[in-house]
């Protein structure tokens, strides 16, 4: 497990670098308003993905080893197309960045289709392909932006979305041919048992994930309403930093989820969860120290004068970033064990905190109020998860400390590799 985590960690570190590069480029190219528009459209696409992931997300991962892949693929692909076309139209009716409707449809459809294929790799414990495709999503996106801007000469913010559609479509087709060549076409058929199980597992998992997404993104919509689209762009830098950090810690969570799903006993799953908690806890201490050490002038120099508040935003968000990163391990444990009720409870409570604090704090303090609302929600959600985990397992501070034996074992594995 440790070596797999290291490989996944390396891939996530590459994603972190590429993400920062893309953020720096987009802020300098399109400013705070352009970054705000990108943030809202990407948030809309993420909202669509939670509906499509009822069949194409963790449900596909979970049942990849329990049913024939051909049957899982059929439902996941059809559902991806349906939701990718329908949900964006609902957003356009609500007049949420409706001028970017067709970009949103393209991103939603291909993102969901690619997500299905990546989820199947996780379910089959093919973590290598999962790592490759997650890195390529950032790298190919950047390459496509470069082609559109410097070869074709297109300069407006739609470049970001066109490049993302092209990237997702290319990677979907590549991963599709890798999967389909191992499938038996004659086995592709409708099956009520597969549909029922995937839907039952998927909606329960995604309900929690969607509500948690609202905890992460609802402040964007409140900020746009109270402060304007430019404030969303400025605030989104802090959120982007958060999620860039989480891409690394969630690499550990993905490996953990794959292991728990395929684990033979609850004790084994708990042991692996404790290992993941320990590694994430130590990593997050390093990241938070980094946030504190970096001077505010560095952020302003990188992103521009419009983003001078970034250091303050990061400091206010850091307790919540830490809490979510560590508690994600516990969340993936409960998801892998099909104990989904606690995930729904913590997400719903966190959403209530987000809404209440957003109405109070954002009109009064603007962007900093959004930070307070977001961090409060993160801390409450993490507390509920840990409380449940502590009540069902034996956990102590020793579970966060790395022993000499573990360091020696890890060194041996690296040298052997």
pTM, rounded to two decimals = 0.70
Angstrom distances, CA of residue 64 to CA of 59, 118, 175, 380: 8, 11, 16, 33
| SS3 assignment, position 66 | coil
Task: Please tell me whether residues 112 and 258 are part of one structural domain.
Answer: no
In a domain, 204, yes or no: no
**How many domains, in total, are found in the chain?**
2
pLDDT digits (tens, 9 = 90+) for 293-343: 888 888 888 877 778 788 888 889 999 989 988 888 888 788 777 777 888
Task: Please tell me whether residues 105 and 173 are part of one structural domain.
Answer: yes
CA–CA separation, 355 and 266 (whole Å): 36
Residue 394 has pLDDT above 60, yes or no: yes
Q: What angle do CA 382, 386, 389 make, to 5 degrees?
A: 145
Task: Please tell me whether residues 284 and 170 are part of one structural domain.
Answer: no
Task: Please tell me whether residues 62 and 185 are part of one structural domain.
Answer: yes
Do 148 and 163 touch, CB atoms closer than 8 A? yes
Query: Of the candidates 166, 47, 159, which has an alpha carbon nearest to the alpha carbon of residue 96?
Result: 47
Do 284 and 325 touch, CB atoms closer than 8 A? yes
Query: Of the candidates 384, 256, 254, 379, which has an alpha carbon nearest to the alpha carbon of residue 324?
Result: 379
Average pLDDT over residues 134-144: 91
Query: Of the candidates 393, 379, 388, which has an alpha carbon nearest to the alpha carbon of residue 274?
Result: 393
In a domain, 35, yes or no: yes
Q: What is the DSSP string of 70-93?
A: HHHHHHHHHHHHHHHHHHHHHHHH
Task: Please tell me whether residues 269 and 177 are part of one structural domain.
Answer: no
Which residue, 190, 219, 248, sits at the end of a domain?
A: 190
In a domain, 222, yes or no: no
End-to-end CA distance of the chain: 14
Torsion, Cα of 288, 289, 290, 293 (10° steps): 130
Task: Please tell me whether residues 186 and 236 are part of one structural domain.
Answer: no
Lowest mean pLDDT among 60-64, 154-158, 171-175, 339-343: 60-64
pLDDT digits (tens, 9 = 90+) for 368-378: 999 999 999 99
What pLDDT, on a 0 to 100 scale, did the predictor assign at position 130?
Answer: 77
Please give the mean pLDDT across all residues of the chain: 81
Task: Please tell me whether residues 371 and 308 are part of one structural domain.
Answer: yes
Query: Of the candidates 410, 415, 412, 416, which has an alpha carbon nearest to the alpha carbon of residue 9?
Result: 410
Which residue, 142, 161, 190, sits at the end of a domain?
A: 190
> Which tokens belong to 210?
């969607």
In a domain, 213, yes or no: no
In a domain, 364, yes or no: yes
Task: Please tell me whether residues 243 and 119 are part of one structural domain.
Answer: no
Which residue, 169, 190, 211, sits at the end of a domain?
A: 190
> Which tokens belong to 43?
């948030």
Task: Please tell me whether residues 157 and 267 are part of one structural domain.
Answer: no
| SS3 assignment, position 209 | helix
Region class of 330: left (phi > 0), else alpha (psi between -120 and 50), else beta? alpha
**Site of tokens 């992103």:** 303
Angle between helices 69-93 and 192-227 (to 10 degrees): 30
Residue 213 has pLDDT above 80, yes or no: no
What pLDDT, on a 0 to 100 scale, did the predictor assign at position 403?
Answer: 60
In a domain, 22, yes or no: yes
Residue 393 has pLDDT above 90, yes or no: no
In a domain, 107, yes or no: yes
In a domain, 206, yes or no: no
Task: Please tell me whether residues 234 and 350 are part of one structural domain.
Answer: yes
Task: Please tell me whether residues 286 and 405 are part of one structural domain.
Answer: yes
Expressed as residue numbers, the domain containing 109 is: 1-190
pLDDT digits (tens, 9 = 90+) for 48-69: 888 887 877 777 777 766 777 7
Task: Please tell me whether residues 177 and 264 are part of one structural domain.
Answer: no
pLDDT band at 96 (very low <50, low <70, confident <90, very high): low
């Amino acid at each position: 497990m440790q070596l797999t985590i290291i490989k996944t960690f390396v891939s996530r570190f590459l994603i972190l670098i590429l993400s920062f590069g893309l953020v720096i480029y987009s802020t300098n190219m399109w400013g705070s308003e352009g970054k705000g528009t990108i943030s809202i459209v990407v948030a809309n696409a993420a909202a669509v993905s939670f509906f499509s992931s009822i069949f194409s997300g963790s449900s596909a991962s979970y049942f990849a080893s329990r049913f024939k892949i051909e049957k899982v693929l059929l439902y996941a692909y059809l559902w991806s197309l349906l939701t990718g076309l329908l949900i964006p139209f609902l957003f356009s009716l609500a007049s949420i960045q409706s001028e970017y409707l067709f970009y949103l449809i393209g991103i939603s459809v291909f993102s969901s289709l690619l997500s299905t294929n990546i989820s199947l790799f996780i379910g089959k414990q093919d973590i290598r392909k999962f790592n490759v495709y997650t890195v390529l999503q950032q790298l190919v996106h950047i390459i496509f932006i470069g082609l559109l801007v410097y070869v074709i000469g297109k300069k407006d913010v739609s470049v970001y979305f066109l490049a993302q559609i092209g990237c997702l479509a290319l990677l979907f087709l590549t991963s599709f041919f890798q999967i389909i060549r191992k499938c038996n076409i004659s086995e592709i058929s409708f099956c009520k048992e597969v549909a029922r199980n995937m839907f039952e597992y998927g909606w329960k998992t995604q309900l929690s994930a969607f509500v948690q997404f609202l905890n992460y993104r609802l402040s964007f919509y409140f900020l746009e309403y109270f402060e304007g689209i430019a404030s969303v762009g400025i605030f989104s830098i802090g959120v982007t930093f958060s999620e860039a950090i989480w891409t690394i810690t969630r690499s550990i969570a993905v490996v953990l989820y794959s292991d728990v799903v395929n684990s033979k006993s609850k004790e084994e799953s708990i042991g692996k969860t404790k290992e993941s908690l320990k590694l994430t806890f130590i990593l997050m201490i390093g990241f938070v120290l980094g946030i504190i050490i970096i001077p505010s002038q560095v952020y302003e120099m990188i992103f521009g004068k419009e983003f001078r508040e970034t250091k303050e935003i990061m400091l206010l968000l850091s307790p919540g970033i830490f809490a979510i990163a560590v508690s994600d391990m516990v969340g993936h444990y409960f998801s892998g064990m099909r104990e989904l009720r606690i995930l729904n409870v913590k997400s719903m409570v966190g959403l209530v905190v987000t809404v209440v604090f957003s109405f109070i704090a954002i009109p009064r303090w603007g962007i900093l109020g959004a930070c307070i609302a977001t961090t409060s929600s993160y801390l409450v959600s993490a507390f509920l998860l840990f409380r449940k985990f502590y009540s069902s397992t034996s956990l102590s501070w020793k579970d966060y400390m790395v022993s000499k034996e573990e360091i020696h074992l890890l060194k041996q594995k690296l040298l052997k590799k």
